[in-house]
């Protein structure tokens, strides 16, 4: 299977440091109560990494349950539409549950079992990570509680139903802004009281060490497959790889295996929302500053007192005021360039992708598509751009219709 293909030795392979630092970013800024659970998780993960049986079981699940490897697909009509570089799509939307999130939740569910824990909690915004967690827990028969902002429970009804069908309990969060950020807070609070028997399956490359490391590693199958598939399909690596960044898990998984190959250009696209004013976007790397949120030191959208700012994106999955610490490191090191795309541009790209390719992408992914379309038009036909098509857009259909109607 292609996903066991390993990239060239990576200069960043030693990151994070044992303390969980990617350069100056990362760390563990959490209450003392959680330290024991983080140490336990780190230990269980290290042991799992050197256990061939763990890798084998995960590979088997990824192949037979998720349907990996996901195809690398040449988007011919989209390429013609843009009139420049070739656009290829890494089809994470074709995974079971319709997004990349399942790569991580299966890995962490296996770790839950290894640690002998009997209950799982998770946070979710748009519901994709919640569905992927509920799915992994149903597969292993582990009870699962998903924290979800009250606002998001209302907006993402189809995913709430799917989670309940799979036996998960949904806890609407009514504190603060009632969205993803508060769902993370509430999941952490639950974990404070239940660390003995509960594992928290965090859904992105954010939070305290070792979560950014573990989630990146479980998602790195995306980049490893892309490298192998590029060699086969075009006989070389792509020139440019583009992915959307909220917390940044699909982008981290796609970029990480490419980081050492410096002639591959890596571009992360954040949610530019309505405009660049505070409260109107969710572009932490583009407009934020280094600070502490949810257990890690990274770029964050805060006011001058360190209070987390409200954020906005048409895409619920990117609607988050922080970003993974490794992305902050890649930005500081100049290895990955980050830019943002507005709600309006993402919606336009969604429309083009649907009509030229017959693929209905997630609104999150549509941000990466919009940036790629602009870029491809300026490049030569020999150039190859790969988009991480992180998820399908069925969940967004009602919201997109509402946005079109309200224009």
Partner 1 sequence: MSAIDELFRKLNKEQRVAFMPFVTAGDPNLEFTADLLTALDSAGCHLVELGFPYSDPIADGPVIQESYTRALKNHVRVHEILEMVQRVSPSLSLPLVAMVSYAIIFRHGIESFLDQSKASGISGLIVPDLPSDESEVLRDLCDQRDLSLVPLITPTTAPDRVAHILETARGFIYYVSIAGITGERSELPAELADNLRELRRQTETPICVGFGISHPKQAAMLTEVADGVIVGSAIVRRIGELALSHRDSAIQSVVDFSKEMLSGLKKPEA
Dihedral Cα 65, 199, 218, 286, nearest 10 deg: 120
| Minimum distance, C-beta of residue 108 to partner 1, in the bound complex (Å) | 20
Q: Which stretch binds partner 1 (CB under 8 A): 43-51, 113-121, 174-182, 381-389?
A: 174-182
CA distance 129 to 70: 18
* Residue 378: partners with Cβ closer than 8 Å, 6 or more residues away: 84
Is 115 a binding residue for partner 1 by CB under 8 A? The answer is no
Give the active site residue among 70, 92, 101, 340: 101
Minimum CB distance to partner 1 smaller for 263 or for 305: 305
**CA R_g for the chain:** 19
- Which of 16, 22, 30, 200 forms a contact with partner 1 (CB under 8 A)? 30
Among 33, 118, 277, 337, the residue binding partner 1 under the rule CB under 8 A is 33
- Measured from the CB atom, the residue of 31 and 167 that comes closer to partner 1 is 31
Out of 36, 377, 397, 404, point to the residue binding partner 1 (CB under 8 A): 36
Residue 122 near residue 187, CB atoms below 8 Å: yes
Catalytic residue among 340, 364, 390, 395: 390
Report CA 294 to chain centroid distance, whole Å: 16
Output the smallest distance, CB 177 to partner 1, in A: 9
Structure tokens at 209: 């060490």
Residue of 241, 216, 204, 252 whose CA lies nearest to 72 = 241
Which of these ranges, 78-86, 181-189, 262-270, 335-343, lies near partner 1 under the rule CB under 8 A? 181-189
Q: Which of 85, 173, 195, 318 binds partner 1 (CB under 8 A)?
A: 195
When the beta carbons of 21 and 335 are compared against partner 1, the nearer one is: 21
Q: Out of 95, 308, 366, 390, which residue is the one contacting partner 1 (CB under 8 A)?
A: 308
Nearest to 244, CA basis, from 213, 207, 283: 283
298 assigned to active site: no
Which two structure tokens, joined as six digits, stand for 170?
A: 């949904």
Could you say which residues in the range 278-307 bind partner 1, by CB under 8 A? 291-295, 297, 302, 304-307
Match 């490794």 to its residue by tokens.
326
Query: Which helix (H) or strand (E) segment is 91 a member of?
Result: strand 86-91
Calculate ∠ Cα 283-243-317, nearest 5°: 55
DSSP per-residue codes, 14-46: TPSPTT-EETTEE---S-HHHHHHHHHHHHHHH
- Which residue number, 62 or 146, has a Cβ lying nearer to partner 1? 146
Q: Which of 173, 177, 248, 187 is nearest to 34 (CA)?
A: 187
Our CB check for partner 1 shows the closer of 43 and 51 to be: 43
Which residue, 98 or 321, is less far from partner 1 as judged by CB?
321
CA distance 317 to 271: 10
50 an active-site residue?
no
Active site residue 123: yes
Stretch that binds partner 1, among 129-137, 183-191, 331-339, 394-402 (CB under 8 A): 183-191
Q: How far apart, in Å, are the Cα atoms of 33 and each of 46, 114, 139, 191, 292? A: 22, 21, 30, 9, 18
Stretch touching partner 1 by CB under 8 A, among 173-181, 219-227, 243-251, 394-402: 173-181
Among 1, 192, 377, 397, binds partner 1 (CB under 8 A): 192
| Residues in touch with partner 1 (CB under 8 A) | 19, 27-37, 39, 175-176, 181, 185, 188-189, 192-193, 195-196, 291-295, 297, 302, 304-308
Residues classed as catalytic: 101, 123, 390
């Amino acid at each position: 299977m292609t996903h066991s293909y390993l990239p060239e030795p990576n200069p960043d392979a030693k990151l994070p440091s044992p303390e969980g630092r990617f350069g100056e970013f990362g760390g563990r800024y959490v209450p003392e109560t959680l330290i024991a659970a983080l140490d336990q998780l780190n230990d269980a993960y290290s042991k799992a990494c050197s256990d061939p049986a763990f890798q084998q079981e995960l590979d088997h699940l990824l192949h037979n349950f998720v349907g990996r490897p996901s195809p690398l697909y040449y988007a011919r009509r989209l390429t013609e539409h843009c009139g420049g570089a070739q656009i290829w799509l890494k089809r994470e939307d074709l995974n079971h549950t319709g997004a990349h999130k399942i790569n991580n939740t299966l890995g962490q569910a296996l770790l839950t079992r290894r640690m002998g824990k009997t209950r799982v909690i998770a946070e979710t915004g748009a519901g994709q990570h919640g569905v992927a967690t509920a799915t992994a827990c149903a597969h292993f028969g582990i009870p699962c509680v998903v924290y979800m902002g009250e606002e998001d429970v209302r907006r993402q009804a189809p995913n709430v139903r799917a989670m309940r069908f799979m036996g998960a309990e949904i806890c609407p969060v009514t504190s603060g802004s009632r969205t993803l950020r508060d769902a993370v807070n509430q999941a952490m609070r639950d974990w404070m009281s239940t660390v003995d028997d509960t594992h928290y399956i965090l859904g992105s490359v954010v939070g305290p060490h070792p979560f950014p490391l573990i989630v990146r590693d479980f998602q790195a199958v995306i980049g490893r497959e892309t490298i192998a598939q590029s060699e086969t399909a075009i006989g070389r690596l792509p020139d440019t790889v583009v992915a959307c960044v909220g917390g940044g898990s699909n982008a981290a998984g796609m970029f990480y295996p490419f980081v050492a190959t410096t002639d591959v250009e890596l571009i992360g696209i954040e949610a530019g929302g309505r405009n660049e004013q505070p409260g109107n976007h969710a572009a932490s790397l583009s407009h934020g500053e280094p600070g502490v949120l949810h257990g890690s030191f990274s770029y964050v959208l805060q006011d001058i007192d360190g209070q987390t700012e409200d954020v906005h994106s048409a895409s619920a999955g990117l609607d988050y005021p922080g970003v993974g610490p490794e992305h902050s490191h890649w930005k500081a090191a100049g290895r990955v360039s980050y830019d943002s795309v507005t709600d309006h541009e993402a919606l336009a790209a969604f429309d083009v992708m649907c009509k030229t390719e017959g693929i209905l992408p997630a609104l999150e992914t549509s941000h990466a598509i919009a940036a790629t379309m602009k870029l491809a038009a300026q490049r030569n036909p020999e150039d190859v751009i790969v988009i991480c098509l992180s998820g399908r857009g069925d969940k967004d259909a009602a919201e997109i219709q509402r946005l079109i109607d309200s224009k």
